[in-house]
Amino acid sequence: MDMVQTKRQGLFERMRMTVRRATKAMFPAPVREYRMLSESDYFRLQAILSKGLKEIGSAEARHARRMRQLLKRGFLFACKRIPYSVVTMNSQVQLRSLRGTRFAVTLVYPQDADKKQRKISVLSPLGMSLLGRAAGQSLSRNLVIEKVLYQPEIAGDFHL
């Protein structure tokens, strides 16, 4: 009887941990840190969120609440005054994994997202992690922003 109870408890513990992981994936943690945002990015993202997200896929619509929190807690900078090392919309960023693998991604608005071209939607979990962070900051335990390869504000491309 003791062995059966032990196996049953182990099974229940594994099930509980699986449910906990799934819940965390479905409901991401609230944004705790402050981010640096350009005014143009802020207002464009507010417009996307206020439209009701009808043009956006349902997977990205789930992350709208977290994006609203991120925008509320962001420090706004004039486009010409945002630091060059900060990830803004349409920035191309080089990321480095814990294993040392380097790859470049571009942070884009949802309608421009394309995984094949490594254009990451700002409403995806990775996109929200990138927005407003600076080179050298960690996105997770195994992913770091190595450098910002291109930032539209520094290049003077305010139309993007």
Is-above-0.85 flag for pTM? no
Domain range annotation of the chain: 31-155
- Give the model's pLDDT for residue 26: 46
CB 82 within 8 A of CB 36: yes
- pLDDT digit string, tens, across residues 46-83: 998 887 655 555 666 677 888 888 899 889 999 888 99
Convert the pLDDT of each residue in 78-97 to its tens digit: 988 899 999 999 999 999 98
pLDDT digits (tens, 9 = 90+) for 83-139: 999 999 999 999 998 888 999 999 999 889 999 999 999 988 899 999 999 999 988
C-alpha span between 18 and 13 (Å, rounded):
9
* Fold of the domain built from segment(s) 31-155: Chitinase A; domain 3 (3.10.50)
